[in-house]
Amino acid sequence: MKRFALLVTFSLCLLTACNSDKQQGQVDSSGKINIPAPAKPEPAVDTMTATGLQIKDLKVGSGPKPFPGKRVKIHYIAMTEDRKVFDSSRDKGDPAVISLSAGSVIKGWEEGISGMRVGGKRQLTVPAGLSTPGTSAVPFSMPTGKTLIFIIDLLDIEI
C-alpha cells in the first residue's frame, strides 16, 4: 500500500512538473489521472486602436501569438471600402510570409496581426495613413491614399 501511495505521489509530482505551463491533471481515488478540458479561447476583439486601425476578430485562434521580429504565414483578402477585392493570397493558392516589426509591410498589418493567435481570422480596416507600404514591397499592389479592408488568417509562426 505504501508503494502505491508513493507511486501516486511521484506520478502527481511528475505530472505537475511536466505540465507546469500546460494543463494540470489530478489523480482520483482510483488512481486514474483526470486532465481538465483545455481553456476556452480569448474573447473576440472588436476595437479601434489609437492609430485609427479597426480590428474585428472573426475567429479567435487558440495557438501562440507572434511577437516582433517573427515571420508569420498568412492568407489575406485585400479589398477597398466598397468591398471590391483587389488581391487575395487564397486566389493565388499561396500564403504570404511576412516579417513583423521589420517595416516590410503596411503599418496596419504589423499592428493588427501582432495581437492575433495562430488559427485566428481577423478583419482589419486600415485608414490611409496606415496603408503606406513598408520598405520592401507588400505581397500585392494596392490603391494608395484610401482606407482598405483586409481579412487575415494567421496560419503559422516561423521559428
**Within a domain: 30:** yes
Q: Among the residues of 19-131, which ranges form H helices? A: 89-92, 107-113
DSSP alpha helices (H): ranges in 70-113?
89-92, 107-113
Averaged pLDDT score across all residues of the chain: 77
| Residues contacting residue 9 through CB under 8 Å, at least 6 positions apart | none
Does residue 39 form part of some domain?
no
What is the tens place of the pLDDT at every residue in 42-86? 666 788 889 899 999 999 999 999 888 888 999 999 999 999 999
The CA-CA-CA angle for residues 21, 25, 31, to 5°, reads 150
What is the tally of structural domains in the chain?
2
Task: Based on the fold, state whether residues 85 and 64 are members of the same structural domain.
Answer: yes
Q: Evaluate whether residue 142 is within a structural domain.
A: yes
Express each pLDDT in 127-152 by its tens digit.
988 876 655 445 566 777 889 999 99
β-strand partners of 122: 57, 152
- Same domain for 69 and 124? yes
Residue 132 lies in a domain: yes
Note down the domain range covering 72.
46-157
Domain membership flag for residue 146: yes
Same domain flag for 115 and 139: yes
The reply to whether 22 and 86 lie within a common domain is: no
Q: Strand, helix or coil at 5?
A: helix
Same domain as 116, residue 75: yes
HSE at residue 11, side-chain half, CA atoms within 13 A, is: 14
